[in-house]
Amino acid sequence: MGDLNDSVFSGTRPVLPQHAFDEGRLADFIRTNVGPFAGNLQVAQFKGGQSNPTFLVQAGSERFVLRRKPPGALLPSAHAVEREHRVMSALAATDVPVPRTLALCEDPDVIGSTFFLMAHVPGRIFWDPALPGHTPVERRALLDELNRVIAALHRVDPAAVGLSDYGKPGAYLARQVARWTQQYRAAETERIEAVDRLIEWLPAHLPPDDAPPAIVHGDYRLDNVIFHPTESRILAVLDWELSTLGHPLVDFAYHCMTWRMDGHTGRGLGDLSALELDALGIPSEAHYVSQYCERTGRTGIPGATWSYYLIFNLFRLTSILQGVTRRALQGNAASAEALTTGQRARPLAEQAWRMAQDLMRHP
């Protein structure tokens, strides 16, 4: 392996043994499919990421990012890096900032699983949605930009960028409920009563699926974008594994779970009061939603429908976290903190079920 370490690239570490591969074969692939380079190939693994292992590759003077499917047995339809490559390539000419894609390899003989290469985008990634160390003016600008970019994504015409077949037509939410129920059951490691109740409740209370299909990211959040090194401007949206065609408001509600989650369920703003948010320069959930509606030409979102979308997304994240737990127990998770992360599944499910009960009491 290469000799990159944390002192060379912030946020990276030596490649984990379970994710190691033949770097000589990768070097040959890059020379053939991306371009020649002088000097050695060096590889380091990014610390973040729970699903698809991601690596920083230095080929001579060039830096690339490699994203691959993890080794081992995988859940059906999960870890679809080839779809990430397709959607990012399609969005390159739109107002949605994405890294430049360079090559897709579906031959497992190269590094052991499907992967793609994209340009390395230097910039800032923020992990804490409270944005410590920033002024209220800076926080307001960063979050306004976050809002602008997801609105821009949902305004893209899928057919205009060659993605009219990127997802199945119709019944998006019903299919999502069924899919994440199946994914949860496939990864289940313990019985969580709140999940069982949600699995029964969600399909019985589906709201109308009345929006034209949009490109949905599936995991749009603060730490999945790269901001300019000094400006409040997003240079790249990352982690398109869960993208498809679907209901834009369901996608936006997933993003807005940040305002509902607290320290027990994830990195969120749920522990902060309205006065504390205002003092920090962070918009309330209601104001953030209204900004998005204005940018996408909507007059508003019915309260009960919005609550359902949030409940569904809490359940969906529970299912994702259960998959993280399963991979951690199998030893092939991308993050060393995977088991701890997976333990958030139960409190998230319990929060979602409390919200469902409130919605039934006050529809």
- The pLDDT, as a whole number, for residue 327 is 76
pLDDT band at 1 (very low <50, low <70, confident <90, very high): very low
- The pLDDT, as a whole number, for residue 358 is 95
Name the phi and psi angles at 2, rounded to 5. Answer: -70, 175
**Sign of the CA dihedral running 130, 132, 135, 137:** negative
pLDDT at 233 over 90: yes
Mean pLDDT throughout 221-234?
Answer: 96
Mean pLDDT throughout 71-81?
Answer: 65
Closest to 320 measured CA to CA, from 179, 168, 146: 179
User: Quick check: 26 and 41 in contact, CB under 8 A?
Assistant: yes
Kindly report, residue by residue over 2-58, the tens digit of the pLDDT: 333 333 345 889 998 888 999 999 999 999 999 999 888 999 999 865 578 999 999
Q: How many CA atoms lie within 13 A of 326 on its CB side?
A: 19
pLDDT at 78 over 80: no
- The pLDDT, as a whole number, for residue 6 is 32
Neighbours of 203 (CB within 10 A): 13
User: Quick check: 50 and 65 in contact, CB under 8 A?
Assistant: no
Separation CA 260–CA 255 (nearest Å): 10
- The pLDDT, as a whole number, for residue 74 is 54
Kindly state the tokens that stand for 93. Answer: 């000419």
Kindly state the tokens that stand for 319. Answer: 């299912």
Kindly report, residue by residue over 249-292, the tens digit of the pLDDT: 999 999 999 999 987 777 899 999 999 999 999 999 999 999 99
Kindly state the tokens that stand for 178. Answer: 């069924």
Beta-sheet strands, E only, within 31-174: 41-46, 54-59, 62-68, 101-105, 115-119
Kindly report, residue by residue over 87-132, the tens digit of the pLDDT: 999 999 999 999 999 999 999 999 999 999 999 999 999 999 999 9
12-13 and 54-59: which strand pairing? unpaired
- For the ranges 79-93, 184-198, 315-329, the lowest mean pLDDT is seen at 315-329
Closest to 306 measured CA to CA, from 272, 345, 355: 355
- The pLDDT, as a whole number, for residue 343 is 77
- The pLDDT, as a whole number, for residue 215 is 98
Neighbours of 332 (CB within 10 A): 18
User: Quick check: 54 and 65 in contact, CB under 8 A?
Assistant: yes
Give the containing element (helix H, strand E) for 186.
helix 172-187
User: Quick check: 52 and 69 in contact, CB under 8 A?
Assistant: yes
Q: How many helices (H) and strands (E) does the chain have?
A: 12, 10
Separation CA 225–CA 235 (nearest Å): 8
- The pLDDT, as a whole number, for residue 338 is 62
Separation CA 114–CA 103 (nearest Å): 11
Kindly state the tokens that stand for 353. Answer: 């079920």
Kindly state the tokens that stand for 222. Answer: 């603060």
Q: 3-state DSSP call for residue 31?
A: helix
Separation CA 264–CA 168 (nearest Å): 35
